[in-house]
Amino acid sequence: GTSKLLRFYFDTEEDTTLLINTPSGEWVCDDDAYFPDPSIDFADPATGVYDIWVGSFTEGTSHSGTLSVTEQSSNHP
């Protein structure tokens, strides 16, 4: 069957952003859904490629963390 939820989130101690380009070409972004962690949910997600970027507020800085993809609503940072 198909999932009713597709969630992307980045778990880190730093303040980061998440930017996703969906299979239809739509751009979706989030900053602090679970401060300081970004999270983006798609209801009835489309099949295809999702391009994902994790960003930082400080130019030239990178942050360690874990990018997670889940279909379980109970999973979040």
> How long, in residues, is the chain?
77
Give yes or no for residue 57 having a pLDDT over 90. no
Sign of the dihedral through C-alpha 14, 21, 67, 61: negative
pLDDT of residue 36: 84
3-state secondary structure 9-76: EEECCCCEEEEEECCCCCEEEECCCECCECEEEEECCCCCCCEEEEEECCCCCCCCCEEEEECCCCCC
pTM of the model: 0.88
Do 19 and 10 touch, CB atoms closer than 8 A?
A: no
The pLDDT tens digits of the residues spanning 5-53 come to 999 999 998 889 999 999 999 999 999 888 889 999 999 999 999 999 9
